Structure 1
Amino acid sequence: MVRPRRLEDDELLARIVGALEQRADLTPWSLQDVAPAAGIGPAGLIKRFGSKVGLLHALTRRWIQLIPHGPLPEGREADAELREYVSREFGADSAAGAVYALSEVLSELQEPELVALLAEGWRRQAARLAELLAGMDLSHLADAEAGGTLLLDALHGSLFRSAVNLGRTSPLTTLEHFLEMWR
């Protein structure tokens, strides 16, 4: 008889994301490192995800699913939604942690499925930024799609600059600089 799962995958992945976000160092993590936060042992993680790479796939798919798309919620303005999205997605408490998380994914880029997932996620993020920019009064922004991609690149760049101590520029400050240029 198979024991029932105590946690659904989404809750389990949310716990793992929380544990990874709390990491202060840039050393590689293992299943043993995240298993306590997940509430199951490393063997349970292997049984569910197959390997650390399988867990990275699941974490990346979850990230993609959480990227909003489509019309704004009723009563929300694009400007407020954009600021909230940028704060939530790029306002990591630890820029070094955010860069490390990206480096973990990038270290596995020889794996075609992970490459495709990362590309899909970045396309969806750029598209969401473009949707929000298109809903704003930005007279100097000729192409919202190009603006979304440029803003995404700048937000990633601000995380990298902060991680290597080239000056901390908050994601909202980066956003403000772009909006000033485009108004």
Structure 2
Amino acid sequence: MVRPRRLEDDELLARIVTALEQRTERTPWSLADVAPAAGIGPAALIKRFGSKAGLLQALTRRWVDLIPDSDPIDGADARSQLRAYVAREFGAESAPGAIHALSEVVGELSDPALAELLAEGWARQARWLGRLLAGMGLPNLHDPVVGGEMLLDALHGSLFRSAVGLEQTSPLITLDRFLEMWK
């Protein structure tokens, strides 16, 4: 008889994301590192996702699916939505957190399936950022789509600077610099 799953995949993946975000080590993580936070053992993670690569694919798919892909909410302040999104998605709390995020991306780029998911996610992110920028009516922003792509590139750069301990430019400062340019 098969035992029922106690946790749905989304809740399990959310717990793993939280555990990964809270890591302070600069070393790669293993299933054994995240399993306790997920509330299951490493063997159960393997059974559920097949491998660390399978878990990464599930985590990346979840991330892509959580990126908004519609017009900003009617009546909502586009600037507030943009600031909240940037703070949430690019606000690594520490250099080790930024290193973790970047090392995962580099690892994912070497796997064709994960690289395809990243490409999908980055394109979706750039579109969302562009939609928010378009809603702000910035007079010097001539193409919101290009603006979204440029902002996304700069936000990734903020993570790199944080990871290596250069000037700590928060993602919100990066955003404010772009908005000032486009004003």
* 2:99 aligned partner: 99
CA positional deviation for 1:79: 1.0
The one-letter amino acid paired with 2:73 is P
Task: Report matched runs for 1:90-169 at 5 Å.
Answer: 90-169=90-169
SS in 2 for 1:107: helix
Q: Distance in 2 between matches of 1:118 and 1:67?
A: 12
Q: Report deviation, 1:93.
A: 1.2
Q: SS of 1:56's equivalent?
A: helix
Q: d(CA) in 2 for partners of 1:70 and 1:136? A: 16
Given that 2:102 and 2:159 are in contact with CA atoms closer than 8 Å, whether structure 1 keeps it comes out as no
Instruction: Kindly indicate whether residue 171 of structure 2 is the aligned counterpart of residue 181 of structure 1.
Output: no
Unaligned 5+ segments in structure 1 are none
Residue-by-residue CA offset, 1:51-83 (whole Å, 9 max, x unaligned): 000000000000001111212224311111111
Against the structure 1 CA distance between its residues 69 and 108, is the aligned structure 2 distance closer, same or farther, given a 3 Å change threshold?
Answer: closer
Partner of 1:89: 89
Deviations 1:130-159 (A, max 9, x none): 010011121111111110000001011011
Residue-by-residue CA offset, 1:91-116 (whole Å, 9 max, x unaligned)? 12124313322312322433210110
Residue in structure 2 matched with residue 54 of structure 1 by the alignment: 54
Query: In structure 2, what is the Cα distance between the partners aligned to 1:37 and 1:159?
Result: 25
In the superposition, the TM-score normalised over structure 2's length comes to 0.96
Distance 1:108 1:151, change over 3 A: closer
- The residue identity in structure 1 corresponding to 2:53 is V
Q: What SS is found at the alignment partner of 2:36?
A: helix
Instruction: Supply the distance in 2 between the matched residues of 1:91 and 1:151 (Cα, whole angstroms).
Output: 14
- For 1:136 and 1:101, the matched residues in 2 are separated by 29
- AA aligned to 2:51 is S
Deviations 1:11-68 (CA, angstroms, capped at 9, x unpaired): 0000000000010111011000000000000000000000000000000000001111
Match of 1:65 in 2: 65
Residue 116 of structure 2 aligns with an amino acid whose one-letter code is A
Residue 12 of structure 1: aligned partner: 12
For 1:74 and 1:99, how far apart are their aligned partners in 2? 36
Aligned length: 183
Q: TM-score, normalised by structure 1?
A: 0.96
Letter aligned with residue 165 of structure 1: G
CA contact (8 A) 2:134 2:144 kept: yes
% identity of equivalent residues: 70
Unaligned 5+ residue runs, structure 2? none
Question: What amino acid sits opposite 1:67 in the alignment?
Answer: I
